[in-house]
Amino acid sequence: MADQEYRIEHDSLGEMKVPADKYWAAQTQRSHENFEIGVGIETMPGEIIHAFGILKKAAAMANNELNSAKMTDRKLEVITEACDEVIAGKLNDNFPLVVWQTGSGTQSNMNTNEVIANRANAIAGEKLCHPNDDVNMSQSSNDTFPTAMHIAAVLAVEDKLIPAALDLIDEFKRLEKENEGIVKSGRTHLQDAVPISFSQEISGWRSSLEKDVELLKLTVEPLKALALGGTAVGTGLNAPKGFDTKVADKVSELTGKKFVTAENKFHALTSKDEIVVAHGAVKAMACDMMKIANDIRWLASGPRVGLGEIVIPANEPGSSIMPGKVNPTQCEQVTMVAVQVIGNDVAVGMGASQGNFELNVFMPVMAYNFLQSARLLAESIVSFRTKCVYGITANREKMHDNLHNSLMLVTALNPYIGYENAAKTSHLAFEENISLKEACVRLGFLTPEKFDEVFHPEEMI
């Protein structure tokens, strides 16, 4: 590009050429050039940038109330307007930095400071705001990045993942009601088991997700404690008294969620246990989604030589060589997303184990993995609900046939002929491919009339 398409910015290390059409400055440019790792693919998550916009606005508001001589009303006005544009995503192309940078997220904090300062100056029509002195006032990268990570995680879980799960729970409730009274064979160890109603089976899926939502709600609460106010090492150096509580109140006002200042800033800067626990709850939901998706695709297997007990929507052709084949693709995307979330949990846990002295320096990778997990799982659940679960129908005839062909119905005879005799009946029926009734009568355990009197599979649920 020609020289006129750049402008000269400077930082403590000297001058840098910065694209003229961008609001970032020297420190962002240095990071952009120094960390050419995953460029354009593994950039800092948009949720983090959104959260930075919130916390920078909250910090400016708090600073204005605590030190209006330095954070003047005019500075607050233009910084607020610039922050609102960051929050709304209008300046997203000004955040090019990758996850694979310094472990404190310093470059992304400075990227935000530079963009907000330069945009505020453009709004003001003068060079009014400085990235460090004004936008970063009373802050450090060491307390802003963990704060942004917590805010982003709370918003992702409460505003995306939990609502997606609740909608799927409602869909399962509808299916339960529609399928009341249908009795089918249960299965344990992938083997035939005693009967269960289809609505009971669905209730297991529904209840699992309800428990997951409860766990998410419990584990997201500790994330609402913010490190902001701890500054560099947790002592709060250069932050005015009361800044930490006031800025937490401002974040609460801006998000509509109750955030508080972390009780111990030394813990808040170096320990990431809250992120680990919350991601564990995300992983638990992913594990349940894996189980549910597997159940559904196995129950739908066939259509003729599988279980074939349910029918799922046919969304697209399933084979490039086998005409008419339809695959459980929505179930497969769920299971792949679950595997990704489970893998992400390892990265989050390993990153949290690396808090050395006064700072954890694995925060970007933890934020990246946590937010990817929450985002992927939420979108996966929405897709699964709208393109698969909504259209599940029971194959009543196949369920009836499988139920009455199951040898485990012999369990109903235990009270009348005893466990060992019931086992002999089952083995004979299997070995000679005859009915349980025929086997039981041939062995002399019950008369045909007595067998019919006590043998009622539909009542075994």
Mean pLDDT for 380-390 is 98
Task: Establish whether 189 is a catalytic residue.
Answer: yes
Q: Write phi, then psi, for 260 (nearest 5 degrees).
A: -135, 165
Distance CA(161)–CA(284), nearest Å, equals: 13
Q: What is the pLDDT of residues 47-62, one digit of tens each?
A: 999 999 999 999 999 9
The pLDDT value recorded for residue 303 is 86
The pLDDT value recorded for residue 322 is 84
Question: Predicted confidence band at 15 (pLDDT cuts at 50, 70, 90)?
Answer: very high
Given a contact cutoff of 8 angstroms between Cβ atoms, the answer to whether 373 and 344 are in contact is: yes
Q: Write phi, then psi, for 261 (nearest 5 degrees).
A: -80, 140
Mean pLDDT for 207-230 is 98
Q: Which two tokens stand for residue 118?
A: 């330069």
- Least confident segment among 31-40, 143-152, 280-289: 31-40
Question: Predicted confidence band at 3 (pLDDT cuts at 50, 70, 90)?
Answer: low
* Complete domains list, the chain, with CATH: 22-137 (1.10.275.10), 156-181+198-223+264-395 (1.20.200.10), 406-459 (1.10.40.30)
Does 45 have pLDDT greater than 50?
Answer: yes
Q: What is the pLDDT of residues 107-164, one digit of tens each?
A: 999 999 999 999 999 999 999 999 999 999 999 999 999 999 999 999 999 999 999 9
Torsion angle of the four alpha carbons 249, 73, 236, 53, in this order, in degrees rounded to the nearest 10: 60
Distance CA(451)–CA(3), nearest Å, equals: 94
Does 230 have pLDDT greater than 80?
Answer: yes
Does 413 have pLDDT greater than 90?
Answer: yes
The chain-wide mean pLDDT, for the chain, equals 95
Mean pLDDT for 270-287 is 98
The pLDDT value recorded for residue 343 is 98
Distance CA(152)–CA(105), nearest Å, equals: 14
Catalytic entry in 319, 353, 427, 456 = 319
Name which of 412, 439, 417 is nearest 426 in CA terms: 439
Task: Establish whether 404 is a catalytic residue.
Answer: no
The pLDDT value recorded for residue 1 is 41
Q: What is the pLDDT of residues 285-303, one digit of tens each?
A: 999 999 999 999 999 999 8
- Which residues on neighbouring strands pair with residue 226, listed in sequence order? 261
Does 272 have pLDDT greater than 60?
Answer: yes
Does 434 have pLDDT greater than 60?
Answer: yes
Return the percentage of the chain with pLDDT > 90, whole number. 88
Mean pLDDT for 390-419 is 95
Mean pLDDT for 434-457 is 95
The pLDDT value recorded for residue 320 is 82
The pLDDT value recorded for residue 184 is 97
On the question of a cis peptide bond just before residue 457, with omega within 30 degrees of 0, the verdict is no
The pLDDT value recorded for residue 67 is 97
The pLDDT value recorded for residue 149 is 98
Q: What is the pLDDT of residues 314-365, one digit of tens each?
A: 988 878 888 788 899 999 999 999 999 999 999 999 999 998 999 999 999 9
